[in-house]
Structure 1
Amino acid sequence: MPDIRLKNQPFDLDFHPTESVVYTGLLTGEVKAFRYNDETGESSTSWSVRPSKRTARGLSVQQDGGAVWTGGKAGGLYELSTADGAMKSERVAHDVPINRVYCVNENLVASGDDDGLIKLWDPRQQEAVRSYNHHFDYISDFTYFEDKRQLISTSGDGHLSVIDIRSNKTTPLAVSDDQEDELLSIAPIKNNTKVIVGSTLGILSVWNRKMGWGDCVDRIPGHPASIDAIVALTPDVIATGSEDGMIRVTQLLPTKFCKSRRAALGVIASHEEYPIERLKLDRNKRWLGSVSHDECVKLTDVEDIFEESDGEEDEDMEGGGGDGDSDEEVEESKPSKKEPSFFDDL
């Protein structure tokens, strides 16, 4: 499978909605764009810019493809042209590092920081539209439901929350019960009727929108390490990226690890021993992009990965149910995971 080699560690990635371009944010603060071949995955550099000298942790492309937004260690939020990386706008957005950036729609961008603060931004304005401080630990991920105008966030504080973006209130519509585990990743499934959430303990939790957001309706054990990234490949099939460096494919409800021509027990790709930071699926649902600490963007072909089920019983997963500058910094992949680190003050 094709790898896009880098000279520094990537932290996030996203695909252009209409073109064969993938973007990634690096440890050095650089944002890079690569154009790839839809059939082979072979790539070439399109552009590279460095809006900040500190880590670009979060990155998201607008739905219209006009801009890529990035934020990170310095707390700044930058809007870049997807065509050439030119700076369109910049904001001093947060007092602490930004951990996640998410383009809600063409007129709204969400950012979440290490202290759990969420801010909503209108690209046409310099100041935040609203701020929410109901979380008390880092914001790990976002997803959005257009039908109800609801922005869903997950946090290291063990809570999931729901924000109605139509409301002028600075309080959330709902906050879940404490899940007693750090919530790391989220993706919509079952035609947007449910969401699935990954956690530090390697448990997938299923949430039913019709039954409210107080607690999950099902828990799926089996991953041997934390589930740091999730992406839905189909309404019933997800790919997960774990701390053990493995990318797995799982069919949901009934739960089973999908067999493929290349995989055993659902493992379709690996970044060796390095934890998976992020997963994204391209516009044609063929290339699954992943980033880890091994200084590359991996593109995995998922177009023909599934075989017909042979009716066997569900299987259990193994283990249980000019780049770079002198001022580079060392940074953890996650803001905390409840363990203090020497690097926290860097």
Structure 2
Amino acid sequence: RFRYADGLPLERLFVAKPHKDSCRAVRFVDSGTAILTGSADMSIVASDVETGKVIARLDNAHDDAINRLVCLTETTVASGDDDGYIKVWDTRQRSCCNTFHRHEDYISDMTYVAGSNQILATSGDGTLSVNNLRGNRVKSQSEFSEDELLSVVVM
């Protein structure tokens, strides 16, 4: 964490290293009071933004490196890994409540569509999936593209 002030040099307030391996995904949660990180060490960590102290840790959250995180609601987040798995986590229980596996390669991006309670996900395998949280199933998946799909946004 750094402090920026006009006309003053950059000031480092603290350094945090919550993971053994590289951090690949970062999201603010709890109205910006905590930061959620996903790592190549397969863990998800929540840290206090003021102190950098670890609030919660899910070791071995996935069987492969985590590279994407998306906040779904105040109490749920989704994570995607290098093996094409998407997991949905209940932050109150610190447990996995949904798992989707339709992709053959890494999850490159995800977005949550609140109105339909679905997660859209793109993958290095060149497909887009629509994952229904209510039915806990993959609703549909696109045809394979010749190129990797790297991001998704609802327009």
Distance 1:168 1:82, change over 3 A: farther
Question: 2:110 aligned with 1:142, yes or no?
Answer: yes
Distance 1:63 1:160, change over 3 A: farther
Q: Which runs of 5+ in 1 are unaligned?
A: 1-32, 189-193, 195-346
Give the deviation of 1:76 after TM superposition. Answer: 0.7
Whether the 8 Å contact between 2:85 and 2:103 is mirrored in structure 1 is yes
In the alignment of these two chains, the number of paired residues is 153
State how far apart, in whole Å, the 2-side matches of 1:34 and 1:176 are. 42
Whether the 8 Å contact between 1:141 and 1:155 is mirrored in structure 2 is yes
Give the deviation of 1:63 after TM superposition. Answer: 5.7
The equivalent of 2:131 in structure 1 is 163
Q: Which runs of 5+ in 2 are unaligned?
A: none
Whether the 8 Å contact between 2:66 and 2:80 is mirrored in structure 1 is yes
Whether the 8 Å contact between 2:4 and 2:10 is mirrored in structure 1 is yes
Question: 2:145 aligned with 1:184, yes or no?
Answer: no
One-letter amino acid of the structure 2 residue matched with residue 72 of structure 1: S
1:240-251 to structure 2, matched below 5 A, reads: none
Give the deviation of 1:186 after TM superposition. Answer: 2.2
**Aligned residues with identical type, % of pairs:** 37
- Note the alpha carbon deviations across 1:60-98, whole angstroms, 9 max, x for none: 112611221111111011111122111111112011111
Q: CA RMSD in A?
A: 2.0
Give the deviation of 1:106 after TM superposition. Answer: 1.5
Q: TM-score normalized by structure 1?
A: 0.41
Q: Secondary structure at the match of 2:110?
A: strand
Aligned residue among 101, 117, 123 for 2:85 = 117
Question: 2:56 aligned with 1:85, yes or no?
Answer: no
Q: TM-score normalized by structure 2?
A: 0.88
> Which one has a larger percent strand, Structure 1 or Structure 2?
2
The equivalent of 1:325 in structure 2 is none
Question: 2:39 aligned with 1:76, yes or no?
Answer: no
Give the deviation of 1:119 after TM superposition. Answer: 0.4
- Note the alpha carbon deviations across 1:115-163, whole angstroms, 9 max, x for none: 0011011111232111111111000111222222222111001111122
Whether the 8 Å contact between 2:70 and 2:112 is mirrored in structure 1 is no
State how far apart, in whole Å, the 2-side matches of 1:147 and 1:126 are. 25
